[in-house]
Every structure is written in structure tokens, then in C-alpha cells.
Amino acid sequence: MSRLFGTDGIRGKANRFPMDGITSFCVGQAITYYFKNEGQRPFIIVGKDTRISGPMIEHAIGAGITSMGGDAFFAGVIPTPAIAFLAKDMRFCAGIMVSASHNPYQDNGIKIFSGKGLKLSEEQEDVIESLVLKNRFSDLYLASRHIGNIFNVDDARGRYIVFLKQCLPRHLSIEGMKIIIDTSNGATCHVAPDIFTELGANIEVIHNNPDGLNINDKCGSQFTSDLQKLVVKAGADIGISFDGDGDRFVAVDENGHKLTGEQILIICAMTLKKDGKLKNDLLISTVMSNLGLRIACRKYGFKHYASSVGDRNVFNDMQRLGAVLGGEQSGHMIFLEHHTTGDGIITAIQLIASMLKEGKPLSELAAMTEIYPQKLINVEVRSKPDISTLPRVFDSIRQVESELGENGRVLVRYSGTQNLCRVMVEGPDDDMIQKHCNQIAETIRQSI
């Protein structure tokens, strides 16, 4: 099992392995060494979210880059998808984002993009991981005159905003639209208010005062109650909420109801199909997606493919199968016409564009997709053995599946970033699926 990389980069408790200063320094070295060996100029852009541990890890990575003869370019507090964009737009060999996404401030992480704005493949991660864990860079230290430098990218935010503004079709205007924005005290705290103000919206911003400790703290995409209440109170057209690093987006309609990722996907797919831009009439989601999405795809004539969990898997299947739209239940959406990775602000812009094109309130568009009740329990585990090797767990899952039949489903999987086993049960009745979910979760607790 990998000791560093999970489903979305490296992640862990800040100031503890692997998110300590020494390992971060080695990661900076390994990334620089890897891309130098690929024959690329070792210019690497580095961004971060607002966690208190961000500067420590950012500078450790920068020190590692420069010690291997690379130049580090610090972009400051900026969303993860901005680093993917800037890596490609400014011709860096790689981009590094210091963030633990929607996790609490105690955690941090490292996400790596190639110079094409793509997340690294598992094979590339394996090479970098091997370099870090072997830690043989002391044999490769350079003479002082070959040490790299650190620079600040002063126009990083401005470049990204210009890029985002181009994602709204020119014939559409959001002038005067009332929008409430929750930045989760995170990486979108500067960019999101600026972009929607420049596009002409009438905005109100909440949870936009980061102090290093309050990122994702009862706010943002994971906790939308404040946003839901304010949208109704202010009479807003839409509420938009981001996670800590800005690659995830959640919407709230004018009545204060939170939309699911499936509802957003269907709305945007419908608009693309009407515009003749839904390539192959294909929509990509993941195995975690609600049954309602599959039913809606059949209803509206979309082909559907379920990828493994993780936006990298969604992206890979989109490229392999020829799709331009894909996403996850959690709010990670990829619009390949605009970007190479999930971008919360782009998703918000595309959803608003759908509202404008259809001339309908968000609640009416959301009603196109019926969402089945779904329960999810995260069970803390000490290890992650194959579920099929656990007879009691396996039998419990099969029993529930038999009782649900075609009216529901069960998905049990390990988290790629935490020591958790996720138990998801879906079906027509809340009480019934809660009972089934509890049953499987308790069996896992007793077995692992």
C-alpha cells in the first residue's frame, strides 16, 4: 500500500509524516529531480490555501525545489484549479498545491500537476514516492552557484480571473443577479468575490475571513446551513459554496434547498445537449452517484458511465470515452471545454449560464432529477483488507443487497485519503436504508 499518495495527492496531519517539513522538502526535491530528468526546465509554481500550516509546507517545498537547482514561483493563496491553469498557461514544468481540500485545518496536503495542467498518473506518483522514501538526494546536492531561487507570481490571481471570465458565454449577462457566496474561509476568499463582481453580479459574501484555523469550519461545501438561510432571507437567485481549495462546488436554490452533484450534472448536461456540445451525448459520474442520475440519463437520452471514485479517474474516463462533462456527487465537476481539472468557480458559472439560457429558477431546473434517499457512514478502521476477505462483512452486504433488490444498492469502499471505510446504502425509504447502513457499519467495526 502506498505510504504517501492517496486518491488525491498526499494528505495527513500537519507537522506529522508525511505532511511535516522534512518530507515536504523531500517532495520538492523529488518533483524537481523527476521533471529535470524528463528534460524540462525545473520551473515550478506553488500555491496554497489558508491553513496555518500552509506557509511552513510551502517554504519547505520551495527549499527542496531550489536545492535541486529548480526555481519555485509562489502564487500565494489561490484555488487548486488555478494552479493547474497557471502551470499550463505560464509554461511551468509542474504545479504544486498545498491543501487538504475539504478537511479541517489540522490536516494539509500536496497536489501535483504536470505542465499540461493534469494531475500526475499513478505511475508518475510511484516514481516520485520512491524518490522521497529512498531520500538519496544528499548524493546529488549541487554546488552553491547552481542552487535555484524563489520568486513571487504577482499576477497569478489576475491571470486566473481573466481565464474564468471567458467561461461565461459573451451573449449572457449576470448583471444584477443576486448571488450569495460562501468561500469556506479558504482558497477562493479573494478570487470568487472578485470574479462575480467583475461579471456584474450583486453579491454578498460569507465565511470570508480566514485566520488559519477556520477553513471549512462549519462552513463551505460541507456545511451549507448558513448559506441556505441567507439565500432565502436576502431573496437571492442562487447561493454558491466552495470547499477549502476551490475545486468543489455546491449550489443552493432560491428556496434555500441544496442541490446535489447529480442535479448539477443533469442541468449542465441538458444545456450542453441543447447547444449541440454534449459530445457523444455522454455523461461521466462515479460509482457513488445517486440512482436518480442514472434514471435521469435514461429519461433525457444521455449515455452514462460510472467511473471509480476520484476526479482523476473521472478525467481519464472522459478522455478515453470522448466525454466533455463529468463529475462527482460531492461537487467536483470537470468541463473539458474549459479546463483540465475540477473547478468550483467554473461549475458555478456554467450552472448560472444554464439558468440564464433556460430562463428558469434553479429550483425548477433541479426538479428534473429525482434524488433517492442515500445514507453514508464513515467507519474508522485500523487497516484496509480486501472486503471480500471479511466473511461477516461480505455476508452482511449481500443480505442487504438481496433485501433491496432493484430498488436500491450498496457500496462499501475505503477512503483513499483517510483511515476510513465508507458505507453507502441507497433506496426508496429513509428509515430502511438507515437501518441497513448501520447494520453493515457495525459489522465492519467488529471486523476491522
Residues facing 188 on adjacent strands: none
Q: Are 327 and 264 in contact (CB under 8 A)?
A: yes
According to the CATH classification, is domain 374-447 in 3.30.310.50? Answer: yes
Percent of all residues in the chain with a pLDDT value above 70, rounded to a whole number: 99
Contacts of residue 63, defined as CB under 8 A and 6 or more positions apart, other chains included, come to 25, 28
pLDDT confidence tier of residue 440, bands split at 50, 70 and 90: very high
pTM exceeds cut of 0.85? yes
Q: How far apart are the first and last CA of the chain?
A: 17
Task: Report how far residue 357's alpha carbon sits from residue 308's, in angstroms, rounded to the nearest whole number.
Answer: 32
Look at residue 139 in the predicted model and tell me its pLDDT.
Answer: 73
Whether residue 183 is predicted with pLDDT greater than 80 in this model: the reply is: yes
Length of the chain in residues, anyone?
Answer: 448
What per-residue string of b and e applies to 214-223 under the rule 16 or more CB within 10 Å gives b? Answer: bbbbebbbbb
Is residue 101 annotated as part of the catalytic site, yes or no? Answer: yes
Q: Which helix H or strand E contains 332, and what residues bound it?
A: none
Nearest in space to 396 (alpha carbons), one of 443, 433, 434: 443
Residues facing 94 on adjacent strands: 44, 114
pLDDT, one tens digit per residue, over 16-71 is 999 999 999 999 999 999 999 888 889 999 999 999 999 999 999 999 999 999 99
Q: Which amino acid is at 366?
A: A
C-alpha cell at 290: 445517486
CATH 3.30.310.50 in the chain is located at: 374-447
pLDDT, one tens digit per residue, over 121-166 is 999 999 999 999 987 777 776 777 889 999 999 999 999 999 999 9
C-alpha cell at 216: 471549512
Percent of all residues in the chain with a pLDDT value above 90, rounded to a whole number: 88
Task: Report how far residue 58's alpha carbon sits from residue 76's, in angstroms, rounded to the nearest whole number.
Answer: 9
Task: Report how far residue 86's alpha carbon sits from residue 84's, in angstroms, rounded to the nearest whole number.
Answer: 6
Q: Are strands 409-414 and 420-426 parallel, antiparallel or unpaired?
A: antiparallel
According to the CATH classification, is domain 261-341+360-366 in 3.30.750.210? Answer: no
Residue-wise DSSP of 314-329: HHHHHHHHT-SEEE-T
User: Active site residue: 101, 184, 241, 354, which one?
Assistant: 101
Q: ∠ CA 205-207-208 to the nearest 5 degrees?
A: 70
Whether residue 2 is predicted with pLDDT greater than 70 in this model: the reply is: no
Tell which CATH architecture fits domain 5-155. 3-Layer(aba) Sandwich (3.40)
Task: Report how far residue 337's alpha carbon sits from residue 441's, in angstroms, rounded to the nearest whole number.
Answer: 40
Whether residue 417 is predicted with pLDDT greater than 80 in this model: the reply is: no
CATH 3.40.120.10 in the chain is located at: 5-155, 160-252, 261-341+360-366
According to the CATH classification, is domain 160-252 in 3.40.120.10? Answer: yes
pLDDT, one tens digit per residue, over 237-293 is 999 999 999 999 999 999 999 999 999 999 999 999 999 999 999 999 998 899 899
